Structure 1
Amino acid sequence: MKTFTNVDEYIREFDGETHDRLVTLRKLITDTAPEAVESISYGMPAYKVNGKPLVYFAGYKSHIGFYATPTGHKAFEKELSKYKQGKGSVQFPLNEPLPAKLITEIVLFRLAENQAKHGKGK
């Protein structure tokens, strides 16, 4: 498994539809949570606010993995029910449109949750 030092490097490893969706997903996250610190964690792009995890994502041959920790997935259980899931993960197939509005809503939820639990002055 290749070790990545930054998100640009990670995304460059992919081509075609996977690459394009990773770029789109990254932009959704950074536009929604511009204060998030971007890094590589667990071998994939990771975003933190107040030093605590916000969301992660990963590219695969037939889907994009999105990880909003268990709370993000639990809060959007109904909306995510049409997608294949694991504990704290969801798979967005490459043969379906990326659910940009839903992803944005999840990032906003996780951002508010993170700031409420770990915001400055806490």
Structure 2
Amino acid sequence: MIPAPEQPVTDYVADLPEPRRGRVEAIYATARRLAPEAVEGMKYAMPALVVGGKGYVAVMSTKKHIGLYPFSSGVVGEFADDLAALGIATTKGAIQIPDEVPLPSELLEQILAARLRQIP
């Protein structure tokens, strides 16, 4: 078995091409600011920030969008209408941010804060 990198988020983001790298870095920077105790780890085979051993958030670059995974269908559902109004699709556990659509920083902070409230 190949060991996971010690900094899976940092390593993943470093390998992304621009402009995706900048967008993904900005999301992670906001997440770290709201949860300075977060550490890098792997959750559901994704590089993620972890708080208290629980998945806090993962951000992945896909062919068609940036996937934001707050590890909570409740959090995604709570903000689904606000996201849809911006043209951002959701699934049960993911927020799919198209390249041409900005995610307002206030909404991102609300999503991340909602997830943090769920983590004991």
**What's the TM-score, normalizing by structure 2?**
0.82
Deviates more, 1:23-32 or 1:38-47: 38-47
Amino acid at match of 2:55: P
Q: Which runs of 5+ in 1 are unaligned?
A: none
Moved >6 Å (runs of 4+): none
Question: Sequence identity of aligned pairs in percent?
Answer: 31
Distance in structure 1 (CA, Å) of the matches to 2:15 and 2:64: 15
Map Cα deviations across residues 13-66 of structure 1 (whole Å, 9 max, x no partner).
211111111111110110111112222333422122222222221112331101
Q: Which runs of 5+ in 2 are unaligned?
A: none
Deviates more, 1:18-27 or 1:75-84: 75-84
Query: Does the 8 Å contact 1:73/1:88 carry over to 2?
Result: yes
Amino acid at match of 2:78: A
Amino acid at match of 2:67: G
Aligned to 1:99: 104
Aligned to 1:77: 80
Q: Which has the higher contact order (CA 8 A, sep 6+)?
A: 1
Amino acid at match of 1:101: E
Amino acid at match of 1:74: G
**What's the TM-score, normalizing by structure 1?**
0.81
RMSD between aligned alpha carbons? 1.8
Distance in structure 2 (CA, Å) of the matches to 1:86 and 1:7: 23
